């Protein structure tokens, strides 16, 4: 029952807070992402929202919004209170195909609660977390982690991966930076190779993939089963089709500015189905128009827009120029 779902491609969209909303996830899915994942979500927020929504005869999908077309779809949880974790896992289980656990987030407000990347140093609690989740659901549980907290303990992931496998975690994603590294420097892909050598569950390599060529290099250098793309997919959902084609045929189609604008308009029309904050939509607009000729002027106009209609008008005008 807890087997992994079928993934239609080896390229996954990374969970990204404020970015991987249901509209972007669907656009990426339609462009060939094999798996999409919600942004990290607090187990305590899930429990509180569920109680509140129950009184209105609604369920948690009002808070964790998605569409059926995104499947297979994973929800990412964070938080280390075991009772809350069990409860939250049971709340989300009926709606998602997989449940991912976050052990990578470097944000201080998360690490301070002994969650996210901070957990890498607490192997006993980590074991209990995995056990609790796996015992609370029939869905496959996966793990996403960094390699360690700081340079002096950058091999912590090895012990955690072993524990994860022993406790029934079905897939492990590694972003090979330390927590204290944030996003600086380069991800160390040799760590993905090391992980692949010590576990039998599928390994998802993540970190600094921005082109199909780089995705292929990661697979070749590390032997990872899947790749996960975060920043490289921001404003660039085409990367999934490009990676899939490059891995299969050795060539891929290039997309231009107007393709990106059209993709963004598709994104905007999809957003109307969800409660996505306008400020996040505007930030997506800025990402979709990044690095394009005339993009600077356009982005300046976009930053001052106050509603979705104005935003759409500017973009439609730009496409038809
Ligand atoms: C804006 C932003 C938000 C992120 N939010 C999450 C998150 O919610 N959960 C998570 O596991 N990782 C999160 N990450 C990390 C990414 O999933 C990914 O591991 C990281 O960006 C490295 O991959 P990349 O080089 O392809 O971007 C976030 C990254 C960014 C840039």
pTM of the model: 0.96
Residue nearest to atom 21 of ligand 1 (CA): 230
Residue with CA nearest ligand 1 atom 10:
15
182: left (phi over 0), alpha (psi -120 to 50) or beta: left
Q: Which residues belong to the active site?
A: 105
N-terminal to C-terminal alpha carbon distance within the chain: 53
- Residue 263's alpha-carbon distances to 31, 47, 62, 161, 225, in angstroms, are 10, 35, 26, 38, 28
Per-residue pLDDT of the chain in tens (321 residues, 90 and over written 9): 589 999 999 999 999 999 999 999 999 999 999 999 999 999 999 999 999 999 999 999 999 999 999 999 999 999 999 999 999 999 999 999 999 999 999 999 999 888 999 999 999 999 999 999 999 999 999 999 999 999 999 999 999 999 999 999 999 999 999 999 999 999 999 999 999 999 999 999 999 999 999 999 999 999 999 999 999 999 999 999 999 999 999 999 999 988 998 999 999 999 999 999 999 999 999 898 887 667 778 888 888 898 888 988 888 777 666
Write down the pLDDT at residue 122. Answer: 95
pLDDT at 96: 98
CA–CA dist 247, 20 (Å, integer): 24
For residues 170 and 142, the answer to whether their CB atoms sit within 8 Å is yes
Distances (CA, A) of 204 to 7, 64, 173: 12, 24, 4
What is residue 313's three-state secondary structure? helix
Nearest CA to ligand 1 atom 14: 16
Predicted local distance difference test score (pLDDT) of residue 293: 66
Q: Confirm if 192 and 157 have CB atoms less than 8 A apart.
A: no
Q: What is the pLDDT of residue 110?
A: 92
Report the residue among 11, 12, 16, 118 best suited for mutation to probe ligand 1: largest number of ligand atoms under 8 A from its CB. 16
Q: What is the pLDDT of residue 291?
A: 72
Q: What is the DSSP string of 87-122?
A: HHHHHHTTT-SEEEEEE----HHHHTTT-GGGGGG-
177 lines ligand 1 (CB under 6 A): no
d(CA 31, CA 270): 15
Asked whether 21 and 63 are in contact (CB, 8 A), the reply is no
Q: Which string of DSSP letters, residue by residue, matches 33-70? A: -SBEEEEEEEHHHHHHHHHHHHTTT--GGGTS---GGG
Indicate the helix (H) or strand (E) that contains 289: none
SS3 content of the chain, % helix, strand, coil (to 5): 50, 15, 35
CA distances from 209 to 13, 144, 297, 305, 306 (A): 11, 16, 28, 32, 33
Q: Answer yes or no: is the C-beta of 16 below 6 A from any ligand 1 atom.
A: yes
């Amino acid at each position: 029952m807890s087997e992994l779902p079928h993934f239609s491609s080896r390229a996954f969209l990374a969970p990204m807070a404020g970015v991987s909303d249901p509209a972007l996830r669907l656009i990426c899915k339609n462009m060939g992402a094999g798996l999409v994942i919600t942004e990290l979500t607090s187990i305590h927020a899930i429990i509180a929202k569920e109680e509140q929504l129950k009184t209105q005869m609604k369920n948690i999908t009002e808070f964790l919004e998605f569409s059926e077309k995104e499947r297979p779809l994973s929800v990412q949880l964070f938080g280390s209170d075991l009772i809350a974790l069990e409860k939250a896992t049971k709340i989300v289980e009926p709606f998602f195909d997989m449940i991912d656990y976050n052990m990578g987030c470097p944000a201080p407000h998360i690490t301070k609660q002994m969650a996210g990347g901070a957990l890498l140093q607490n192997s006993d609690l980590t074991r209990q977390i995995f056990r609790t989740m796996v015992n609370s659901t029939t869905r496959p549980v996966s793990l996403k982690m960094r390699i360690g907290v700081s340079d002096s303990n950058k091999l912590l992931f090895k012990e955690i991966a072993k524990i994860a496998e022993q406790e029934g975690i079905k897939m492990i994603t590694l972003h090979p930076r330390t927590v204290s590294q944030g996003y600086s420097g380069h991800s160390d892909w040799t760590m993905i190779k090391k992980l692949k050598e010590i576990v039998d569950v599928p390994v998802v390599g993540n970190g600094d993939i921005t082109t199909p060529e780089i995705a292929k290099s990661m697979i070749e250098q590390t032997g990872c089963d899947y790749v996960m793309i975060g920043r490289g997919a921001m404003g660039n959902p085409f990367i999934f089709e490009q990676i899939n084609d490059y891995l299969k045929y050795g060539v891929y189609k290039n997309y231009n500015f107007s393709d990106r604008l059209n993709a963004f308009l598709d994104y905007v029309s999809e957003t109307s189905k969800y409660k996505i904050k306008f400020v996040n939509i505007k930030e997506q607009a800025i990402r979709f128009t990044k690095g394009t000729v005339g993009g600077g002027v356009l982005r300046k106009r976009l930053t001052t827009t106050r509603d979705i209609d104005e935003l759409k008008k500017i973009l439609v005008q730009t496409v038809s120029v």
